[in-house]
Structure 1
Amino acid sequence: MTRLPAWADVVLIPLMSIIAAFAISALVILYIGENPWDALKIMVDGALGSAYGWGYTLYYATNFMFTGLAVSIAFRASLFNIGGEGQAMLGGLGVAVVALAVPWPHWTLALPAAMLGGIAFGAIWAAIPGWLQARRGSHIVITTMMFNFIGAALLNYVLVNIMRPAGSMDPASAKFPTGAHLPTLYDLPLIGGYFNKNTPANISLFIALAACVAVWYLLFRSRLGYAIRAFGKSEKAAVYAGISPFRVTMYVMLLSGGLSGMMAINNVMGEAERLVLNAVEGAGFIGIAVALMGRNHPFGVFLAALLFGFLYQGGAELGLWTTIPIELRTVVQALVILFTGALDNMMRMIVERLFALGRRRRAA
């Protein structure tokens, strides 16, 4: 077996997976009678070619950074937390409760409080499956998946029966106070001219970037991060080294749920400015693909989140300007997940053979 350099594992193999996914997508586009090159140009122009498109791409990418980090930190401990969708829903409830509780005078006061609300609700929702696995042996995949449905039902009940304003037929909370409205990137000095005022990208982007740095420091520069990675590599070895499986499981699930819950400051507080029923829009599940493509590394998650933000916004533009259905972006996402997850070893074998061939030629 040929040992690959770090850059090949982190960059080359995911890049080949992306190319393979786009190649098969191009065949699908040809099959339905459209030109793949024209479709690609529309996606690039729609997602990156204007202040409007770039703003939406960054808005989606912000969501995916939070959920991708949430999944990746759990994966590092070999905990497959696929409940990010439900944790983000409950995080939205926490943000809404905080935002509506006080007539906030300014967003600089409302934002830290809302972050704490989102983190707390998301973390608590994730801690329950974590406790069930650590103490009762319940499989984390099953419990987190089921908690997505429980969370959706709970949110629906709360919105319809508790938080819905009197006389409203819409299953949504009241509008947040003006002081809880976050500034968009368009409102910011120096960079505002690069964005359209009608896009929802807001200062949550900077919080997501800070979260990437914080998770990197936690995983690779802290004692807890070492314990998480050791536990993920070998639970028996971690126990032998004095690491408590219960503590690691609970810490990881609290962190993972808190990161998912913090996504709500972007989509609930920053974009909708109220809590609506389907605010998450699948971002919790997309976080799984983002973590896989990013190799569970915060910098990789950042790059993968940008890619999926591009796919989301570019796919929407395809649905507007061509006969290609918007669901094609789901096909592309599924293919990316297929190649970066199930077929990762196949790509790795191809790259290893190419490197081995190159070394033999240099030796000759």
Structure 2
Amino acid sequence: MDVMPKWAEVVLVPLISLLLASILSAIVILAIGENPWDALMLMIDGALGSTYGWGYTLYYATNFIFTGLAVAIAFHARMFNIGGEGQAMLGGLGVALVCLYIPWPHWSLALLGASVSAAIFGAAWATIPAFLQAKRGSHIVITTIMFNFIAAALLNFLLIGALKPTGSMEPATGKFPETTHLPSFQDMFSTADNVMFRGAPANISFFVAVAACFALWFLIWRTRLGYEIRAFGHSESAAKYAGISPTKIIMIAMMISGALAGMMAINNVMGEAERLVLNAVEGAGFIGIAVALMGRSHPFGVFLAALLFGFLYQGGAELALWTSIPRELIVVIQALVILFTGALDNMVRMPLERIFLAFRKPAKGA
């Protein structure tokens, strides 16, 4: 029987970890001569105080939802997919190819085609490390992180060669046709009298990311395949005894993981840049690891953690703009969040378990 109730595992442990990370972050801000409270208020105002700020926060959060879900499904199968960065790069390539070379009549059809293409390219890039893990015993962490560098080199080769427009000096594709441009939040929610989300990059792909959360929840907890993935993640030997094929689970889980990471490209490549550029992913694949850790690999937790990291990204940009606090401090805060929610998880969990154990009523006859 679990020592802590499920709600404490999902909510209380990450919340206390976040509080501890915030306290240490405040000490760092004090050490560089700034007021932590003023810094927090500036971050809140810059990230949440206007529709413009919300537009950027939700744009970043959309990227982190996709990559966080990608890491989460791999976690459930007891695998650590560090390759979300490369899989998202290849997803961007899939988006660029269908947007540039297929004459779409409307953005809705283009979104569907780009989503499928991004998922296929991301899944294909994850399939190779998965096969090496399943058949050769190669460690998934090593192979996926190596494939990030291979993906970057491949993308660089294509963007300075076959995909570069004639006469361009920039490693990027040409602009996608107008019929592939996704509606932004400004287009969707503004009225003649009130312009909302002005200039912010948030777009309809945010709702695709939310739908992906529901789809992954249904897959993991409401399907036979999800049960097999979770069973394999808890005990490979028990899963094999029950007739579950390790090769099947490794391959399928990693392909789903790669597909989710690849679908991030519909937000940053198709929705924001409207072309494929070399550094489009911007580290979101690695942030997905922290998002999955903090979200306890649950789609709803991933959604909330992605919002938090979106807030940190946008709020950190405001800090760098209006104070002497460097932009890199946000990396420090992110590192502290990862430290407490990951490496130091037991530092929070074990005292909580003792507290809940002390308040538990003894069984009758004990």
Report the TM-score, using the length of structure 2 for normalisation: 0.96
Kindly provide the CA deviation profile for residues 116-169 of structure 1, in whole angstroms up to 9, marking residues without a partner as x.
Answer: 110011000000000000011100000000000000000000000111111111
Gap runs ≥5 in structure 2: 362-366
Indicate the SS of the match to 1:188: helix
Q: Percent identity?
A: 69
The one-letter amino acid paired with 1:243 is: I
- Identify if the C-alpha distance between structure 1 residues 355 and 190 changes in structure 2 by more than 3 Å, giving closer, same or farther: farther
The one-letter amino acid paired with 2:55 is: G
Q: Distance in 2 between matches of 1:225 and 1:2?
A: 22
Q: How does 1:168-207 map to 2 (within 5 A)?
A: 168-189=168-189, 195-207=196-208
Specify the alignment match of 1:88 in structure 2. 88
Specify the alignment match of 1:243 in structure 2. 244
Q: Does the 8 Å contact 1:315/1:329 carry over to 2?
A: yes
Return the offset for 1:294.
0.3
Q: Distance in 1 between matches of 2:251 and 2:356?
A: 41
Q: How does 1:319-338 map to 2 (within 5 A)?
A: 319-338=320-339
Number of residue pairs aligned between Structure 1 and Structure 2: 361
Specify the alignment match of 1:74 in structure 2. 74
Tell me which moved more, 347-356 or 230-239.
347-356
Kindly provide the CA deviation profile for residues 31-72 of structure 1, in whole angstroms up to 9, marking residues without a partner as x.
Answer: 001000000001000000011100000000000000000000
Specify the alignment match of 1:282 in structure 2. 283
Kindly provide the CA deviation profile for residues 94-123 of structure 1, in whole angstroms up to 9, marking residues without a partner as x.
Answer: 000000012322101111111111001100
* Match status 1:264 vs 2:261: no
Q: Distance in 2 between matches of 1:145 and 1:74?
A: 14
Report the TM-score, using the length of structure 1 for normalisation: 0.97
Q: Does the 8 Å contact 1:126/1:253 carry over to 2?
A: yes
Q: How does 1:341-352 map to 2 (within 5 A)?
A: 341-352=342-353
Q: Distance in 2 between matches of 1:359 and 1:92?
A: 52
Q: How does 1:1-364 map to 2 (within 5 A)?
A: 3-189=3-189, 195-359=196-360
Specify the alignment match of 2:364 in structure 1. none
Gap runs ≥5 in structure 1: none
Return the offset for 1:359.
4.8
Q: Distance in 1 between matches of 2:8 and 2:212?
A: 26
Return the offset for 1:278.
0.4
- Identify if the C-alpha distance between structure 1 residues 215 and 2 changes in structure 2 by more than 3 Å, giving closer, same or farther: closer
Q: Distance in 1 between matches of 2:351 and 2:53?
A: 36
Taking only aligned residues, the RMSD between alpha carbons, in angstroms, comes to 1.6
